A and B are shown apart, each in its own frame.
Chain A
């Protein structure tokens, strides 16, 4: 087989690498090049303007406003989603009362597992439209529920004070289900003997979760962290469909700004690429930091 090794590797490796270079790497490089031009997108002519786009960007209040919103998302979405995901997964896998020696989920856990996963099955567009109706200020589910118990409801997406939090809630709602399943799968891989030992020592449930389950899940949590951090820097589809950045730019995110600059109210592709380049480095930095910050010693249980 030794002789056949390289042809085999080449046959299997070259096509995917080629595809990757053409469709992923080359657009990156082009975006970097375009970001240094004043290209307006509808003719092949573009003048090189050096770093002027980045200078404009630095002074662009709308970009900063969008970045501020992304920063809030970055601070809240991963933490809340992971906490909720861990809580639900723990309840589903080891929240049950029966079986003193073993661990089992609450009654009907398989049903809940399916229900939590629903948002993951729906496309993001459906989720956005669904919630837009839930937030309908006159006949939406939320307003009706509040009114029926005699409370006044805000205008949700129509008020800059609430709109951002409404979108943030949907982001968490639509993500939690996936992490419940992810954490759940990881939890069921933890050997039962460990729990038995812990229970013999008389540990409380919370202590078990905190001292045993989470440390053993740390790798998974770390991955979740990176995913969610990247998601928080994006959030484009939900925001664009639910509020398009409004009212008064209160829900604007950097992805919407970039889209609007190129395809929306202007055709400044050069400037939009500059925003894209900034986004690239931000995402990269955040991901690396997230991986670094959550680095811990590995625990092997085999």
Chain B
């Protein structure tokens, strides 16, 4: 065998090996046998043990190792074992939830608790339509662990149950409470004697002033431009009322072209037209743009309330980030300026075939206890869905402004869930449209067209299960 033969044979081997990699998605449907051991670990229900936890049953918890880390979960696990010393907890953390767990779902041996979050999150539409996750209704009805006289449901902030419900069934426990708004540095604004504008015209005037001072008014994550869809849709909802959001969530025809959306897109186009966005932003990812903002290169950024802990390492001392609602378009707005988008986030679920289903529910009860929630807030500087659990906990500056914004917003708060129902619509389609719009390549009408086209393609796809929600 000479050199040429060897080369030739390697080429042949390459031929076979590469398509093998290409076909990796096809790995094993797992024979399709239902092992039927869901909820095998059952204990007897009692007043002390309303969910019927088997005290020595092992519990497997898989945590998304993202912005919140995994330490908080270990603390919750310790609280669980305090109650059930005989239970052995199998804790693991990963950033790749879908890749790690997909084979186990197919195999019928999923973990008991899954923190389905991050970029590798499993699409909930797929999970729900395959009945792969358990109904958490029992948890809501169970008494709270340490708030006497209340059921778990009574202790939750409004909207927490709705966000995790599909066709009326509570399937996903979203643990954190996130506020989406526009952020600025209080320090920068005090130094320059700027004041956050409450109306859109004032906002544009302020942007002009900021630009004249040599700072870019705005920056955004060009690699994930959907971050900018949040303030835009918020503006539309405040202008046209919550029905703007329900129409989008329910995939109603021309929902993206409602008067509210049109007014909002026209308004936001101003910051693109007048070049109020930091140059180069379309080429930044979320970390790069947020860092530029922390370095004072831009005045405003759109983000959720995880921003403060995400930026902890690069935020200069005394930066004092503050969240504010989107400016009102005018006096005709249906919702007041204070109205802000607040929603439960950071989803946790129990696979329908989990062996220790009761243990998983009990673990959630631990998380949703006052003690568990306070510990979480203290550890990761984020609010939980447990009402009033942040009382008495010393909060960092930014999170304090989040609490204030929520209080001011009160019953006017709003939310949308199309991103939970149809992950692809936000992550792929609206995302791409936002990228074109905020880099100035398309105008407001084309932007709404592109979003609507995306929504229509989801609506027409018979392989995607559709959900509806009431106003």
Chain A bound to chain B:
yes
Residues of A within 8 A of B428 (CB): 260, 265
* Chain B residues with CB under 8 A of A42: 102, 105-106, 122, 126-127, 130, 132
B266 at the interface (CB under 8 A from A): no
Contacts of B32 in A (CB 8 A): 44-46
Interface string of A228-257 (1 = CB under 8 A from B): 001000100000000110111100000100
B424 within 8 A of A: yes
In the bound assembly, the distance between CA atoms of A271 and B25 in angstroms comes to: 10
Contact B10 A223 (CB under 8 A): yes
How far, in Å, is A122 (CB) from chain B's closest CB? 20
Q: How far is the CB of A62 from chain B (nearest CB, A)?
A: 8
Q: Mark B63-97, 1 if CB is under 8 A from A, else 0.
A: 00000000000000000000000000000000000
* Contacting pair B427 A265 (CB below 8 A): yes
Does B3 belong to the interface (CB within 8 Å)?
A: yes
In the complex, whether B388 has a CB less than 8 A from a CB of chain A is: no
**Known A42-B127, A135-B283, A279-B19: A246·B432 in contact at CB below 8 Å:** yes
Q: State in angstroms the CA–CA spacing of A38 and B129 once bound together.
A: 12
Question: Is B190 part of the binding interface, using a Cβ–Cβ cutoff of 8 Å?
Answer: no
Name which of B204-212, B274-282, B374-382 contacts chain A: B274-282
A residues less than 8 Å from B432 (CB atoms) = 246-249
Interchain CB contact under 8 A, A265 and B26: no
Question: Which residue of B is nearest A31, CB measured?
Answer: B26
User: Which A residue's beta carbon lies closest to that of B17?
Assistant: A24
- Stretch of A10-18, A112-120, A150-158, A167-175 contacting B (4+ beta carbons < 8 Å): A150-158
| Contacts A138-B280, A247-B432; A230 near B106 (Cβ below 8 A) | no
Are B20's CB and A27's CB within 8 A? Answer: yes
Q: Is the CB of B25 within 8 A of A24?
A: no
* Of B34, B131, B279, B463, the contact of A138 (CB 8 Å cutoff): B279
Q: Does A64 contact B (CB under 8 A)?
A: no
A265 & B424 in contact (Cβ 8 Å cutoff): yes
Q: Which residue of A lies closest to B107 (CB)?
A: A44
Contact B108 A44 (CB under 8 A): yes
Cβ-defined contact, B105 with A43, below 8 A: yes
Can you list, as one digit per residue, whether each of A159-203 has a CB less than 8 Å from chain B (1) or not (0)?
110000000000000000000000000000100000000000000
Main secondary structure of the interface of B (DSSP, over half): helix
Instruction: Check if B222 sits within 8 Å of A158, measured CB to CB.
Output: yes
With A43-B130, A45-B130 in contact, is A267–B123 under 8 Å at CB?
yes
Interface check B44, CB cutoff 8 A:
no
Known: A223-B10, A248-B436. A43 touches B26 (CB 8 A): no
Question: B7 touching A246 by the CB < 8 A rule?
Answer: no
B25 touches A272 (CB 8 A): yes
A residues near B11, Cβ cutoff 8 Å: 222-223, 226-227, 291
Q: Which of B10, B105, B427 contacts A264 (CB 8 A)?
A: B427
Are A267 and B22 within 8 A (Cβ)?
A: no
In the complex, what residues of A have CB within 8 A of residue B280's CB?
A: 136-138, 143, 155, 158
Contacts of B225 in A (CB 8 A): 247
Q: For the complex, what is the distance from the CA of A160 to the CA of B441, rounded to whole Å?
A: 10
- Shortest Cβ gap from B222 to chain A (Å): 5
Nearest chain B CB to A85's CB is how many angstroms away? Answer: 15
Residue from A138, A248, A266 in contact with B423 in the complex, judged by beta carbons closer than 8 Å: A266
Question: Counting CB contacts under 8 A, is A208 at the interface?
Answer: no
Bound complex: CA A24 to CA B432 (Å): 36
> Does A90 lie at the interface of the complex (its beta carbon under 8 Å from any beta carbon of B)?
no
Do A158 and B283 touch across chains, with their CB atoms under 8 A apart?
yes
User: Is A106 on the interface with B (CB-CB < 8 A)?
Assistant: no
Given contacts A158-B283, A284-B15, contact A31 B126 (CB under 8 A): no
Q: Are B288 and A136 in contact (CB under 8 A)?
A: yes
Asked if residues B29 and A44 are in contact (CB atoms below 8 Å), the reply is yes
How far apart are A36's CB and chain B's nearest CB, in angstroms?
Answer: 12
Within 8 A of A (CB), among B1-47: 3-4, 7-8, 10-11, 14-34
> Chain A residues with Cβ under 8 A from B4's Cβ?
219, 298
Can you name the residue of chain B whose Cβ is closest to the Cβ of A185?
B3
Q: Does B163 contact A (CB under 8 A)?
A: no
Determine if B272 is an interface residue (Cβ-Cβ < 8 Å): no
- The minimal Cβ–Cβ distance linking B106 to chain A, given in whole angstroms, is 6
Q: Which residues of A contact B27 (CB under 8 A)?
A: 27, 30
CB neighbours (8 Å) of A298 from chain B are: 4
B132–A155 touching, CB < 8 Å: no
Contacts A247-B436, A267-B127; is A276 near B14 (CB within 8 Å)? no
- Say yes or no: is A93 at the interface (Cβ < 8 Å to chain B): no
Chain A residues with CB under 8 A of B417:
none
A260–B424 alpha-carbon span in the complex (Å): 9
Whether A276 pairs with B33 at a CB distance below 8 angstroms is no
A-B contact pairs, 5 of them (CB 8 A): A27-B24, A27-B26, A159-B282, A159-B439, A259-B25
For the A-B complex with A136-B288, A226-B11 known, give 18 more contacts whose Cβ atoms are closer than 8 Å.
Answer: A28-B20, A38-B463, A40-B129, A41-B105, A136-B280, A157-B223, A157-B283, A158-B281, A159-B282, A189-B3, A219-B4, A219-B8, A247-B436, A265-B427, A265-B428, A271-B463, A276-B22, A287-B15
Chain B residues packing against A (C-beta within 8 Å): 3-4, 7-8, 10-11, 14-34, 98-99, 102, 105-106, 108, 120, 122-123, 125-127, 129-132, 222-223, 225, 278-285, 288, 292, 297, 423-424, 427-428, 431-433, 435-436, 439, 441, 463-464
Of all A-B residue pairs in the complex, the 5 with the closest CB atoms, nearest first, are: A158-B283, A31-B26, A137-B280, A267-B126, A158-B282
